[in-house]
Amino acid sequence: MVDSVDDLFGLPLAEFTSSRNELAARVAARGDKVEARAIKSLRKPNVVAWTLNQLSRRHKETVERLVATYAVGTANSAEEVRSVTEARRQLVAELVVAARNILSEGGAASPQATMQKVSQALYAGGNEGDRELLLQGRLVSDLGSPSLDSAFGLSSSTDGDPPVPNEDAQKLETLSQKAVAAEQSAGQLEDAARRLEVEAERARAELAGAEERSRRARRKAEAGRQLAAEARIRLDEAQNATDGRDVAP
């Protein structure tokens, strides 16, 4: 049972709707119909928004540091932009790993498409309102497009002309996104490698068992050959004894 709207956004995604309705019913029963309607109208987060909310709640300091990187603007030098972009790349990479773990803990699959959307949302940063909801852990949809004068170091004109991109920042951002994608692929390859190691260990154990059974079988076969040889010797001795009696005067 949840006691507040904030608690709703910390629940497993599958529990959101039923818990929201229960909370709205309890609030209505207390006589606050307006608040009850407001609670009932809350949208269930999509899986990307839910994941971002959990990141904010479980890794608050890292998310706060990431949000701070969106303050970079055209007044910053190219070196400052590069420094901030690299910091953002590292923070996003760290949060993407945490997001994969969060999805796994909840029993949800973490396909490449979902993880890609999470990383893209973290890079985009959305507008100021989006980032405030992220910090509160109360997003209901993906972060929107970044503001042109902040998230990617783009410059905007005051006379109505189209914004002019900061080319260095764009190039760095593209490289950073590729780096995150590579890190995600590396994480998946590491998972696959661990599974193969387990399978290899199992195969080695099975092989060791097969080799032991083979050794036992060889020992039994050798013992069988020894018994057969002894039996042939006894048979020959018995045959010789019989032949001796047959030729006796």
Cα separations (Å) of 149 from 66, 75, 160, 163?
Answer: 16, 10, 14, 9
| Whether 88 contacts 72, CB under 8 Å | no
Q: Is the pTM of this model over 0.85?
A: no
pLDDT of residue 183: 55
* CA 10 centroid distance within chain: 19
Least confident among 107-111, 124-128, 170-174, 239-243: 170-174
Domain ranges of the chain: 1-44, 45-189
What is the reported pLDDT for 201? 78
- Tokens found for residue 11: 């629940």
Query: Which residues, 6+ apart, have CB-to-CB distance to 176 below 8 Å?
Result: 85, 86, 88, 89, 92, 123
**Residue 126 and residue 143 in contact, taking contact as beta carbons nearer than 8 Å:** yes
The tens digit of pLDDT for each residue in 13-27 reads: 999 999 999 999 999
Euclidean distance between CA atoms 112 and 109, whole angstroms: 10
| DSSP tag of 149 | T
Is the pLDDT confidence value at 155 over 80?
Answer: no
